[in-house]
Amino acid sequence: MVIRNDGKLLTPAARNPWYVLMTIAGAPSDPNDHETISKNRRFWNAWACSELKSQDRLEIAAKLGCALDEISLWSSEEKERVVLELGQRLPGTEIPCPSNAIDLRGLFFSGRMFSRGFVFPSAVLFKGSCFQDFTTFQGSQFRDIAGFEGVEFVANVDFRYVEFVQSAYFRGTSFNETGSFQGVAFQWNADFRGASFTSSGEFFGVVFNHEAYFQNTNFRLLANFDGAEFKGGGNFSNSQFGADAVFTGSVFAGSPWFEGCEFNGGVWFKKGSFMDLTSFENARFTKMVPEFFEREFYHGTVFSLQQENWPSEKATNAEVFKLLYSRLAQVMSDLHKPDDEQFFRRQEMRCKQVLEEPLPKLLLRLYGFVSDYGYSVTRPLALLSVVFVLGFLALAVGNCPAPGIDQSMQECGWGAMGLSFGNTFAFFGFGRLYFPSGFFEGLPAWLKVLGAGQTVLGVVLLFFLGLGLRNRFRLR
């Protein structure tokens, strides 16, 4: 028995009858030992296809790209060899039935595993097993359920061009080195929930014909879905992308979900399309703004509109970020989502602020502070209130004379309040309407300066208030 890192006992693969069937000609360690690898494939596939109809064999031979003779029934000599090997390695063991589940659970595969072009006719179960060295299933066909739940691949594993006819389960599987699924066809569900890719996860050119589940998956390095086709939904909710996430040219016919994901590298969705409801709600982009050039979007596309979920703009990245935010703003405009468009326009302005010379940078900073780049209603309204209150307090504390105003009104502060209001909102002409003729000419010089300042600030803040109302309530 072998003890796994988590304390679980594993059985050496050599004690398993199905493993013996997979290595009748021996367990090769050299990938160039083509003779042994081919013989093993012949022994296995002849057994795997022994209960299939002739038409099924023809289809399998066409998919594997091999001659029909390679999957034909064993000759008498081949059968004798199989019986001999089973008897020597596992005395008393009979040849398993191809229609029964292939039970490879809880095994320890100490050497390299070469299963290229193998046919698995029934459900194959690897749950909890450990592959210590390089493993390949390249070009194989799994005709029933493939269960790899909780498997640990210590070295590189190669699933390139495999066909999974039924559901494939990789839930909680650990890929300690590169996990390659290039060109794989998942005809039914593909379940990678909770899987961990310590190195690269290669899924370029993969076709997911049904649902693809990647919730809570951890991609520590490159996650490559270049050209992948998701004909069902693609759910990546709460997954971690430690480095670059490449979805260039990918097509999502079903709903893609990236809610709560964390992207810690570059994010490429260039070209391709989202053809159904798409959600990046609460997704965090810590290093790069995602690239969506030439991608088609579905109307129901949702992005996180919290600034803390987007990367900080710096002098080294502001120019690129500005272009990427501009693209996102354009997309939201095309989708008639004005709030989202305004958010990305504000992000674009923040990048522009970083790139500008000192004086324009100061003006942009003031623009952002006063009105959140033309979107806030509360900021200019609050600042208008501050201008009014400060003016009122200055007039009241200074006990300024107000010629023509009743003394009792001055003593209770109405005069100071009215004057501050008239100064702040001079645009409306309240001062000239309610204050007597010659009133302003008789004011002290400092009061005239205060009034002029309130008037200028009032006009500017009223403009930003109107701009915020227009943008916030979509007034065109």
Q: Same domain, yes or no, for 331 and 207? A: yes
Which pLDDT band holds residue 57 (cuts at 50, 70, 90)? confident
Chain segment 345-404, per-residue pLDDT in tens: 999 998 988 888 777 777 777 777 777 777 777 888 888 888 778 777 776 665 555 554
Q: Name the residue range of residue 430's domain.
A: 378-472
Rounded to an integer, the average pLDDT of 39-63 is 87
In a domain, 313, yes or no: yes
Of the three residues 335, 367, 399, the one that is the final residue of a domain is 367
Closest CA relative to residue 292, chosen from 266, 261, 262, 253: 266
Q: Same domain, yes or no, for 179 and 208? A: yes
Q: Same domain, yes or no, for 406 and 343? A: no
pLDDT at 24 over 50: yes
Q: Same domain, yes or no, for 248 and 123? A: yes
Q: Same domain, yes or no, for 302 and 420? A: no
Mark 282-318 as b/e (b = at least 16 C-beta within 10 Å).
Answer: bbbbeebbbbbeebebeeebbbbeeeebbbebeeebb
Share of the chain above pLDDT 70, in %: 87
Q: Same domain, yes or no, for 104 and 170? A: yes
Q: How is residue 174 written in tokens?
A: 């650990």
pLDDT at 409 over 50: no
Rounded to an integer, the average pLDDT of 225-233 is 94
Q: What pLDDT is recorded for position 45?
A: 92
Residue 442, beta-bridge partner list: none
Contacts of 229 (CB under 8 A, 6+ apart): 206, 207, 208, 250, 251, 253
- Rounded Cα distance between 62 and 204, Å, is 23
Chain segment 256-304, per-residue pLDDT in tens: 999 999 999 999 999 999 999 999 999 999 999 999 999 999 988 999 9
In a domain, 303, yes or no: yes
Is residue 257 within 8 Å of residue 280, measured between CB atoms? no
Q: How is residue 265 written in tokens?
A: 């590298």
- Rounded Cα distance between 245 and 225, Å, is 8
In a domain, 88, yes or no: no
Rounded to an integer, the average pLDDT of 330-350 is 91
Q: What pLDDT is recorded for position 412?
A: 46
Of the three residues 344, 367, 390, the one that is the final residue of a domain is 367
Which pLDDT band holds residue 465 (cuts at 50, 70, 90)? confident
In a domain, 288, yes or no: yes
Instruction: Of 5-14, 203-212, 382-391, give the range with the top mean pLDDT.
Output: 203-212
Contacts of 310 (CB under 8 A, 6+ apart): 285, 289, 304, 347
Q: Same domain, yes or no, for 333 and 419? A: no
- Rounded Cα distance between 1 and 108, Å, is 9
Q: Same domain, yes or no, for 315 and 185? A: yes
pLDDT at 215 over 80: yes
Q: What pLDDT is recorded for position 65?
A: 78
pLDDT at 237 over 60: yes
Phi, psi of 218 (to 5 degrees): -115, 110
Q: How is residue 472 written in tokens?
A: 């916030």
Q: Same domain, yes or no, for 274 and 170? A: yes
pLDDT at 461 over 60: yes
In a domain, 36, yes or no: no
Phi, psi of 257 (to 5 degrees): -120, 120
Chain segment 85-135, per-residue pLDDT in tens: 999 999 988 999 999 999 999 999 999 999 999 999 999 999 999 999 999
- Angle in degrees, CA 441, 442, 446, rounded to 5: 90
Q: How is residue 202 written in tokens?
A: 């290669």
Whole-model pTM over 0.85: no
pLDDT at 333 over 80: yes
Q: What pLDDT is recorded for position 359?
A: 78
Chain segment 170-192, per-residue pLDDT in tens: 999 999 999 999 999 999 999 99
Tell how strand 179-180 and strand 262-263 pair up. unpaired
Rounded to an integer, the average pLDDT of 22-51 is 91
Q: Same domain, yes or no, for 108 and 236? A: yes
Q: What pLDDT is recorded for position 411?
A: 46
- Rounded Cα distance between 440 and 344, Å, is 46
In a domain, 129, yes or no: yes
Q: Same domain, yes or no, for 300 and 408? A: no
Q: How is residue 249 written in tokens?
A: 């040219």
Q: How many domains is the chain partitioned into structurally?
A: 2
Is residue 323 within 8 Å of residue 352, measured between CB atoms? no
In a domain, 42, yes or no: no
pLDDT at 422 over 80: no
In a domain, 23, yes or no: no
Rounded to an integer, the average pLDDT of 61-71 is 79
- Rounded Cα distance between 97 and 99, Å, is 5
Q: Same domain, yes or no, for 250 and 294? A: yes
Q: What pLDDT is recorded for position 55?
A: 84
Of the three residues 342, 367, 392, the one that is the final residue of a domain is 367
